[in-house]
């Protein structure tokens, strides 16, 4: 959450948060967490507009992404899905495709 808070403070929306994009700096018990893969990220400081592209990994995508108008809060949905999965060992919503 601290990493995402930092990104959002800098007005950056990651748009593809998932376990595969979260890494530890080293093998130490209190290692620093790093977020990687900024290929879909968006900086609101550079472009002041609504986000409208449907991007990301379907299991972790917020519903508003499909509406064509969303903001950085979609990253919080992705964190919620990761937390849900870590507790229940399955996804809150399943499907074979985005539809």
- What is residue 67's predicted lDDT score, i.e. its pLDDT? 82
Question: If you average pLDDT over residues 66-92, what whole number do you get?
Answer: 92
Residue 24 confidence class, pLDDT cut points 50, 70, 90: very high
- Fold for domain 2-88? Transferase(Phosphotransferase); domain 1 (1.10.510)
Q: Provide CB contacts within 8 A for 62, sequence distance 6+.
A: 70, 73, 74, 76, 77, 78
75 is an active site residue: no
Total-model pTM: 0.85
- The better pLDDT of the pair 15, 68 is held by 15
> Among the options 16, 27, 50, 75, which is catalytic?
16
Spell out the domain ranges in the chain.
2-88
Residue 54 confidence class, pLDDT cut points 50, 70, 90: confident
Residue 68 confidence class, pLDDT cut points 50, 70, 90: confident
Average predicted confidence (pLDDT) for the chain:
88
- What is residue 23's predicted lDDT score, i.e. its pLDDT? 94
């Amino acid at each position: 959450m601290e990493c995402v808070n930092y990104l959002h403070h800098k007005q950056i929306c990651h748009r593809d948060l998932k376990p595969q994009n979260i890494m530890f700096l080293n093998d130490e018990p209190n290692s620093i967490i790093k977020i990687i893969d900024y290929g879909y990220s968006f900086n609101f400081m550079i472009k002041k507009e609504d986000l409208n592209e449907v991007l990301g990994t379907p299991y972790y995508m917020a519903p508003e992404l499909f509406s064509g108008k969303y903001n950085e809060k979609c990253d919080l949905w992705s964190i919620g899905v990761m937390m849900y999965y870590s507790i229940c060992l399955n996804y809150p919503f399943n499907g074979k495709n985005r539809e």
